[in-house]
């Protein structure tokens, strides 16, 4: 493990160290396995496009719309998810979906990400745009491919099923998504309201996909719902990664299952505090999980809605949650191992990290 990170002193107070560490971590190569495309659209981009497309909005005041599309302070998951009702208004056609995908990836590349997994509900996009789910998938794949041609970043796409659609609709949509496995879609996710739509309902959809092994499976669980939802996602849906998993520690048997199976938890500190998955940063289980041998990664979730970037999350983990920079660095290598991408890509990412940390640490 390398030595101390340049520019950081453990003697700094929390506010000073957060600001200083943000600057340090901005220089780091970063990896995000849990970022939602809608929640990563910069407001200025959203505002420009809705005006260009003549979208009818509930307000003509951009400051008011920005406020309604972002979260500060602590709320609950349902309040957090309401922000997307406004975001979705921007999906007016396939061309716009492609452009937004391009711009979100370009923004991530400018922010120093070397690898990104971008997830979204193609069905929800399609409904807003009045197009088919297949057309929405093709638009995001085209936007991704165009972004990769002009930016130094690797991106895989994860298509999500919204729980609120119900099992029957999700079953039909999963078949469409599976048709794009290996053709631009690397993984599949279960999104939305965990409490009213438990993961176990969707096992008949995900179990066959897990057996076929054609898509990586990550499931939102243990964020607003109980530790049991994490166990269900692993045992019944075949998840190898869990979106959040904050509440897994409520049941020691579930936490043992996560550890024994080598399941990776995609943790998002600021989002987890904002949705009250955990009471505050100092109660967040990320450091405990890491030190207890649980595979964890640090991610941004919805950076535009949470008004943060990934460097902020790394800085928060160190300044407010007590993780050392070396521990944050270790989560980057965990992210490489857990990524839904080819082994040759993982080898290239490891080499990139190795080279950076060999020169940036003392």
The count of C-alpha atoms lying within 13 angstroms of the C-alpha of 119, restricted to the half-sphere facing its C-beta, is 27
Q: What are phi and psi of 198, to 5 degrees?
A: -65, 150
Question: Could you tell me which of 221, 204, 229 has the C-alpha nearest to residue 267?
Answer: 221
Q: What are phi and psi of 300, to 5 degrees?
A: -100, -20
Question: Could you tell me which of 128, 127, 125 has the C-alpha nearest to residue 143?
Answer: 125
Contacts (Cβ under 8 Å, ≥6 apart) of 244: 34, 220, 221, 222, 223, 265, 266, 267, 268, 272, 277
Please state, in angstroms and rounded to a whole number, the distance separating the CA atoms of residues 59 and 141.
Answer: 32
Among 223, 249, 313, 327, the active-site one is 223
Please state, in angstroms and rounded to a whole number, the distance separating the CA atoms of residues 80 and 304.
Answer: 12
Is-contact 323 290, C-beta < 8 A? yes
3-state secondary structure of 316: helix
User: Is 223 an active-site residue?
Assistant: yes
List the catalytic residues.
Answer: 223
């Amino acid at each position: 493990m390398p030595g101390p990170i340049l520019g950081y002193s453990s003697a700094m107070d929390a506010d000073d160290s957060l600001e200083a560490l943000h600057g340090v971590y901005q220089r780091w190569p970063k990896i995000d396995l849990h970022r939602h495309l809608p929640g990563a659209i910069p407001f200025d981009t959203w505002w420009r496009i809705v005006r260009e497309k003549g979208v009818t909005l509930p307000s003509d005041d951009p400051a008011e719309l920005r406020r309604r599309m972002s979260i500060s302070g602590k709320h609950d998951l349902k309040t957090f998810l309401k922000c997307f009702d406004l975001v979705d208004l921007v999906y007016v056609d396939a061309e716009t979906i492609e452009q937004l995908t391009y711009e979100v990836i370009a923004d991530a590349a400018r922010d120093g990400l070397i690898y990104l997994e971008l997830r979204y509900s193609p069905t929800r996009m399609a409904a807003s745009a009045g197009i088919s789910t297949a057309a929405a998938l093709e638009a995001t794949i085209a936007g991704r491919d165009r972004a990769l041609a002009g930016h130094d970043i690797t991106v895989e796409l994860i298509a999500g099923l919204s729980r609120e659609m119900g099992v029957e609709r999700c079953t039909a949509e999963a078949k469409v998504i599976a048709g794009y496995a290996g053709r631009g879609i690397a993984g599949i996710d279960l999104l939305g309201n965990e409490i009213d739509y438990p993961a176990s309902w969707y096992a008949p959809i995900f179990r066959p996909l897990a057996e076929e092994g054609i898509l990586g499976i990550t499931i939102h669980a243990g964020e607003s719902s109980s530790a049991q939802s994490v166990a269900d996602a692993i045992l019944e849906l075949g998840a190898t990664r869990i979106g959040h998993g904050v509440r897994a520690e409520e049941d020691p048997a579930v936490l043992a299952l996560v550890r024994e199976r080598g399941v990776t938890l995609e943790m998002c500190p600021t989002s987890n505090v904002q949705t009250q998955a955990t009471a505050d940063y100092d109660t967040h289980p990320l450091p405990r999980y890491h030190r207890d041998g649980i595979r964890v990664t640090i991610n941004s979730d919805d950076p535009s809605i949470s008004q943060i970037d990934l460097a902020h999350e790394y800085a928060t983990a160190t300044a407010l949650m007590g993780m050392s920079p070396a521990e944050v660095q270790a989560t980057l290598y965990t992210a490489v191992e857990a990524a839904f991408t080819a082994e040759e890509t993982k080898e290239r990412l490891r080499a990139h990290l190795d080279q950076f940390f060999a020169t940036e640490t003392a």
